[in-house]
Structure 1
Amino acid sequence: MIRILQQDSRIVKSIFAIIIGLAVVTMVITLVPGIFDNTGSTSDGSVYATVREPGLLGRLGISSLPVKQADVTRLAQMQLQQQKLPPFLLPYMESRAAQSLVQHAMLKQAGDKLGLQVSDADLRRELQTGPFAAYLFPGGKFIGSDAYMNFIQTNFQLTVPEFEEEVKQDMEFNRLQALVAGGVTVPDNAVREQYKVQGTKVKFDYAVVSADDLKSQIKPTDADLQTFFKNNAKRYATAIPETRKIAYIAFDANNLPGGKPQVSDADLQAYYTAHQKDYEVKDQAKVRHILIAVPQGADAKTDAAAKAKAEDILKQIKAGGDFAKLAQANSDDPGSKGTGGELGMLSPGQTVPEFDKAAFSLQPGQTSDLIKTKFGYHILQVEERTKAHTRSLAEVKAEIAPLVEQQKIGATEQGFATSLANDALKIGMERAAAARGLHVTTTDYVAKDGVIAGVADGAALLTGAFGAAKGAAPTSVSTGDGFAVFQVQDVKVAHAPSFDEYKTHLVADYQEQKLPELLQEKLGKLDDRAKVLNDLRKAAAELNVPVKTSELVGRDGQVPDVGAMSGPASVAFTMQKTMISGPVNLGRVGVVMTLLDKQEPSAEEIAKNFELTKDQMLGEQQKEVFEVFVGNLATQYEKAKAVRYLKKPATPGPLGM
């Protein structure tokens, strides 16, 4: 409920059409090549690009829209999370996000130019009858302003004005799409033929040739492997990775001279003084309320009725009525109604101004008069008040002590490690360690992803060791529970293995290389023999290949070993009964099929699915038409140099970002 009462803040608008729209903006992700070439500079970096309308008004700067850097970054981060991509790809995702937002601006300008803007009345009708009606007007009744705000903030992280503005833009884009592609039609006979294709189902026998089963048949001789090894010399040039022998001295706080450093009162006081702001407590009030909602845009009669109801409840409270019970019975705030109006502890500025003023002017136990906000009429009661203050050192000592201790330990360990490394450079690792009651551990040759025994986390040690030269000065690194001083003793560079030491790997690699050829050969033999015998099962039995039978399946179905019927196996839908397919190579598996049954949809099924199929076909064709429109629009902006980038977009790399 606290979110419902929060003030409207200047949240940078996210692109709501991408979140809730009908994919208007995302139809064409990549703009016409060359449109990124107009690059300038900016002093504060707040604007990524400006999009002006081609023509005089745009050149004069009258019709121009900014694409904000904050919007670009937010959208890129959202796409990174959705696609589960690593953070280092953010620059490339920003480039794609910028393209989408630039398109958004172009389409907005095109819609405005055609007079397709959405009025407040249009918006109200959309919210009452569109896709949000079930949430905002269940049973035709408005859920109330507080619940409306909560719904928006929870699902879209927007304020009410931002949400409504983005719905308007989404409606304008839909109008633009309807205007551009509204004349597209699909002939009825094409719809029927399309569903006839979509609705056809098949049942078939299929003989399965598995690469894994064939692998054991590939038995190369040593001569075969020698030739393979020679021909793939580049492939194996660094097959044996670089390894290093590392000498290190590990220690933790227990090895420090004098043991772990002790924390004094002076240490605690110094930390507290330096971080005193962290222990400031704001003025707070524990509040409960009753809301009698007034819908936005309500007439005077509705407002008066709500006010009268609130006044009656206030009279009951002042006469000794139970606030919590009255809230449960009457409040229109679903977030707090069930708990007797409880909102918990609030801080100044956390709620809308009228509510905020009352909450921090009342004393514990006091009840407000009626408070009017944009949500309706509130009755507020303060239960507790906490004045702003700074928690004393005595109050926070238990929190501070472990932090200070860890800081002291870390600093002491770092100093000890530096001293140890300096001595190791002067007198050697062994003598430096012995002088401190420690010992040197020397690893065997270890790879970069290996394990360092005796330390909690050897990652930093390995990274440091593989970045240091052989015999370089001893260096200290953290090991998670302490430090280590290390020195690289020897390096074995990455190199090609000998034939004998890599023979097992060579067998597996040779088999994998030969498998596709063998799979295709086996499928060809099976197909040829099946057609000679005119019987797939007999041919499969001769070649010792298992045969399976599918269920009656459509194009959207899945078949074991075959996979999706929309893939290469879709050839089954073009076959006639008893017909034997050619070899169908599915990668690690191949099949030969013979059709047992084929059922086309009946006239009744076609009629039943006619409208849905027509809508799908119409949508696809409208999308194609609109894509052409967006492409042409982007070309116009490119020719007019109407997109000015104030930050050079990242160039998509080999990953297709």
Structure 2
Amino acid sequence: MIRFLQTPGPLTKYLLGGILLLICVSMVWYLVPSSGSSGISYNFGGFGKGVVAQVDGNDISSDDVRQTAKLMLQQQMPQGGPNVGMLLPFFAQRAAEQLITRQALVAEATHMGLHVTPEEVKDELQHGRYAATFFPGGNFIGEQEYEDMLQRANLTPTKFEGDVGNEILISKLQALISGGASASTAEIHEQFIKQNSKVKFDYAVLKQDDIKKGLHPTEAELKAFYDSHKGTYANSVPEKRKVKYALLDTSKIEDGVQVTRDDFRAYYDQHRDEYRVPEQVKVSHIWIKMPLPGADGKLDDNKVAEAQHRADDLSKQLKNGAKFDELAKKYSEDPGSANVGGSLGWIGRAQMTPEFEKAAFALAEGQISGVVKSSDGFHIIRLDDKHDAHVKSLDEVKDQSEPILKRQKGQQVAEKKAEDLLKQARAQGLDAAAAAQGIPVITTDFFARRDTLPGLGPANQFMDAVFTAAEKSPPDVAPASQGIAVFQLLGIKPAATPTLEEIRSRVEGEFKNERSNRLLIQKTQELSDRAKAEHDLKRAAKELGATMKTSDFVLPDGQVPAVGSMTGQASAAFNMKPGEISGPIMSGGDGVVLALLEHQEPSEADFAAKRDQIRDSLLQSKQQELFGLFVTSLRDGMEKSGKIKINQEEMKTLTRTGSEQGM
């Protein structure tokens, strides 16, 4: 473990999610070859328990894949959602690929003689991407807090620092491999012309909606379309089921639950750490800013002395009886606090500069400091109030914990009632058992899995239980968002293929979409051919009923109405000569043909201004491409030599579609 010099003082807690995300998800996506797992040596045996893969003799565990997949999903969908867990198998595949590639790069870097020292890891933690977490304001949060934070994130210092070291190692490898990339002046100029050329053109537009309006399919055409697409409609009417159920509403049960003093005390003792309040001070200040450095990056000593003199003068006025609030409003250079008399409100440790913090926390209530010099200027601080570090009392947190306890006890009562009701329902029948407890029974019509039932709210687990129950099975129990339901399956309608009459409107809509799209392509091709033959787009557009428009000058990354992005098929315009007519361009529900009016190249003055920027961008792109090719080659070689081996059975478990099993 790396030990750091510790700065004394209370500790500030920080969010942990970013730590793991940075480690597990920060690898550049292009490192993972797009070819997926094809060619990998799959094995069925020879793996330890819970091992997904072996890379150069090192295991990648199922737990590593699960954890990385969950963090990737959290990064992509931070708001979550009721069905977000269904995506885990997909992210597990990506996580496994990423971890395999990462380990392959670490192994290759080691074989090439690259290494990382403890000092380099320490420097990355202290000055790199993790500095704000572990060294806020330049001060280490403390060894114990460091270990506690990592433990709460399911990491040990050894594991965490090892992962940071591997990041550095891969960065060194990337720098070594991509260091040979270069961009010549000719390539930079070519890229500049490509990015900054503009075109202006006439264009004719044919709309699919207009074609669709003229389509009136006959009965025979619809029948033929239905028959030819029967596979699409097979079992498109989903399975439906009919049940009756009695709901134990947890919210109503909670209303009748009493929380005792002993309940509060037990919960309070279990969650005491959550009620710790760090030392805080409520302060006001008058701030005279530090002058900005000059063009040479140095401070002007005379200006610094002038700023300090102003602060000293204000301090003297306060000692002579001037009112702090009035001086702050008039002279403080802090726009966020001056208009409220300099008040900063409550602050904790590590929120201000070290000099400000030291002075503020040393003051007595009502006391005003002298002039405090810090990196950002000169401060005069008044301590308005102070809270020592403490643990909130049981009475202080009672209102906060009561709804939690009522929910917990209500859930326990509901589960016991549901257990009793289920037992009675299996012995006496659901109707009789529910009537004995005064619970109404709801009998449904046939419903599909995605339907919503009365009183249940979103009920994925309930639906899962209903749609996996066997016909004539005894009553069962399942949770729903509104409570716990005891249900009886009454009937099943299997999935079915609808007749033409049952889905006529759908078939007619799909027929029109397919036919109009085919006609649009044909008509746009005809428009292009006719315009080229006549050397006149406007004339051809008039003959075929297309609408003529003219674009403004547009760049390669621009957008044109009806044409869409110029990075798509319309990019052909940048390779055309004035007067030339394009082939057919399909853009959503439109068909377009262009006639170039003008091609405008950028000036050499623009090139001089943008040259460095384009060179850096081009060089970065080449470096990424070069390293990406290296990674693909490395993976291919290690797979063929058997240095990368996949536990197929474990991978299937982790990535099983439509299931969270193993996740």
TM over 0.5: yes
Matched, 1:583 2:584: yes
- Among 176, 183, 186, which residue is 2:184 paired with? 186
SS in 2 for 1:490: strand
C-alpha separation between the residues in 2 aligned to 1:272 and 1:177? 58
The answer on 1:29 being equivalent to 2:24 is no
1:591 CA drift (Å)? 0.9
Is 1:557 matched with 2:554? Answer: no
User: Could you tell me whether the CA contact under 8 Å between 1:4 and 1:147 is conserved in 2?
Assistant: no
Which residue, out of 172, 175, 178, partners 1:177?
175
1:217-616 equivalence runs, <5 A: 217-250=214-247, 252=249, 261=256, 263=258, 267-270=260-263, 272-273=265-266, 276-279=269-272, 285-286=279-280, 391=393, 398-399=399-400, 401-606=402-607, 608-616=609-617
Q: In 1, distance between residues paired with 2:400 and 2:181?
A: 70
Deviation, 1:505, is 1.0
Structure 1: distance between partners of 2:199 and 2:240: 57
Tell me the equivalent position of 1:216: 213
Q: Distance in 2 between matches of 1:506 and 1:646?
A: 46
Higher mean C-alpha deviation, range 582-591 or range 239-248: 582-591
Aligned letter for 1:277?
Answer: Q
CA displacement 1:154-202 (0-9 Å, x = unmatched):
xxx99xxx99x979986994797378644745253x5444444443322
C-alpha distance after superposition, 1:411-430 (max 9, x if no partner): 44433334433443344344
Evaluate the alpha carbon distance shift between residue 397 and residue 425 of structure 1 in structure 2; reply closer, same or farther with a 3 A threshold: same
Distance 1:117 1:575, change over 3 A: farther
The alpha carbon displacement at 1:580 in A equals: 1.9
Describe the superposition over 1:519-567 as per-residue Cα deviations: whole angstroms up to 9, x where unpaired.
1111122223323433222222222221111111122221111111121
* Matched position secondary structure for 2:501: coil
The 1:177/1:107 distance shift into structure 2, 3 A limit, reads farther
**What is the rounded CA distance, in whole Å, between the counterparts of 1:625 and 1:400 in structure 2?**
57
Question: What is the DSSP-based 3-state SS (H/G/I as helix, E as strand, rest coil) of the residue aligned with 1:601?
Answer: coil
Counterparts of 1:548 and 1:339, CA distance in 2: 61
Is 1:81 the counterpart of 2:75 in the alignment? yes
Tell me by how many angstroms 1:245 deviates: 2.0
- 5 Å-filtered alignment, 1:123-162, equals 147-148=137-138
Aligned AA (1:269): D
- The alpha carbon displacement at 1:654 in A equals 11
Letter in 1 for 2:261: L
Letter in 1 for 2:265: Y
Kept after mapping to 1: 8 A contact 2:177/2:627: no
After superposition, the Cα gap between the structure-2 partners of 1:243 and 1:261, relative to the gap in structure 1 and judged at 3 Å, is same
- Over residues 586-642 of structure 1, what are the superposed CA-to-partner deviations in whole Å (9 max), with x where a residue is unaligned? 343211111222223345445554554444444444444444555566677778987
**Shift in Å, 1:508:** 1.2
What secondary structure does 2:468 align onto? Answer: coil
1:430-488 residue CA offsets vs partner (Å, 9 max, x unmatched):
44444444543322221111121244555544333222233322233444444433222
1:515 CA displacement: 3.1
In structure 2, relative to structure 1, the CA distance for the partners of 1:82 and 1:627 (3 Å cut) is same
Q: Name the SS of the counterpart of 1:466 in structure 2.
A: helix
Contact in 1 for aligned 2:116/2:165 (Cα 8 Å): no
In structure 2, what is the Cα distance between the partners aligned to 1:30 and 1:415? Answer: 53
Give the distance between the partners of 1:226 and 1:276, measured in 2 at CA. 72
Equivalent position amino acid for 1:230 in 2: D
Task: Check whether the contact 1:15–1:166 (CA below 8 A) recurs between aligned residues.
Answer: no
What do the CA deviations read for 1:12-36 (whole angstroms, capped 9, x no partner)? 987979999xx9x665333997788
Identity of aligned residues (%): 26
Q: Which runs of 5+ in 1 are unaligned?
A: 53-63, 137-144, 291-308, 329-334, 368-378
Q: Distance in 2 between matches of 1:532 and 1:81?
A: 54
Give the TM-score normalised by the residue count of structure 2: 0.65
The secondary structure found in structure 2 opposite 1:539 is: helix
Letter in 2 for 1:28: L
Distance 1:581 1:168, change over 3 A: same
Task: Return the TM-score normalized by structure 1.
Answer: 0.65
Q: Distance in 2 between matches of 1:654 and 1:43?
A: 18
Q: Is the 8 A contact 1:252 1:483 kept in 2?
A: yes
2:292 corresponds in structure 1 to none
Amino acid at match of 1:509: E
Q: Which amino acid aligns with 1:177?
A: A
Q: Distance in 1 between matches of 2:419 and 2:656?
A: 43
**1:92-140 deviation digits (Å, cap 9, x = unpaired):** 34224324533663575478649999999x99xxx9xxx99xx99xxxx
Is the Cα–Cα contact under 8 Å of residues 207 and 548 in structure 1 kept in the other structure?
A: yes
Residues 248 and 484 in structure 1, CA contact (< 8 A), matched pair in contact too: yes
Matching residue of 2:333:
none
User: Is this contact kept in 2: 1:31–1:634, CA < 8 A?
Assistant: no
- CA separation of 1:429/1:526 partners in 2, compared to 1, >3 Å: closer, same or farther? same
Are 1:7 and 1:350, in contact at CA under 8 Å, matched by a contact in 2?
no
Give the aligned partner of residue 305 of structure 2: none
Stretch deviating more after TM superposition (30-39 or 209-218): 30-39
CA offsets per residue over residues 20-54 of structure 1, 9 Å max, x none? 9xx9x665333997788799878999x998879xx
Aligned residue identity for 2:262:
Q
Q: Matched residues in 1 for 2:66 and 2:461: separation? A: 35
Task: Read off the aligned partner of 2:240 and give its amino acid letter.
Answer: T
Change (3 A) 1:476 1:585: same
**In structure 1, how many angstroms separate the alpha carbons of the residues matched to 2:419 and 2:168?**
62
Going from structure 1 to structure 2, the CA distance change for 1:277 and 1:366 (only over 3 Å counts) comes to farther
Check 1:69–1:204 CA distance in 2 against 1; reply closer, same or farther (3 A cut): same
C-alpha offsets along residues 210-269 of structure 1, whole Å, 9 cap, x if unaligned?
A: 22222223322111111222222222111111112222234547988xx964527xx432
Partner-residue secondary structure (3-state), 2:489: strand
Equivalent position amino acid for 1:574 in 2? N
SS in 2 for 1:205: strand
Query: What is the alpha-carbon distance in structure 2 between the residues aligned to residue 363 and residue 527 of structure 1?
Result: 84
Task: Give the residue type in structure 2 aligned to 1:530.
Answer: A
Indicate the larger mover: 511-520 or 633-642. Answer: 633-642
Letter in 2 for 1:445: F
CA RMSD of aligned residues (A): 6.6
More displaced 10-residue stretch of structure 1: 358-367 or 467-476: 358-367
With over 3 angstroms needed to count, the CA separation of the structure-2 counterparts of 1:647 and 1:469, relative to structure 1, is closer
Deviation at 1:649, TM superposition (A): 8.8
Aligned residues: 586
Q: What amino acid is aligned across from residue 454 of structure 2 in structure 1?
A: A
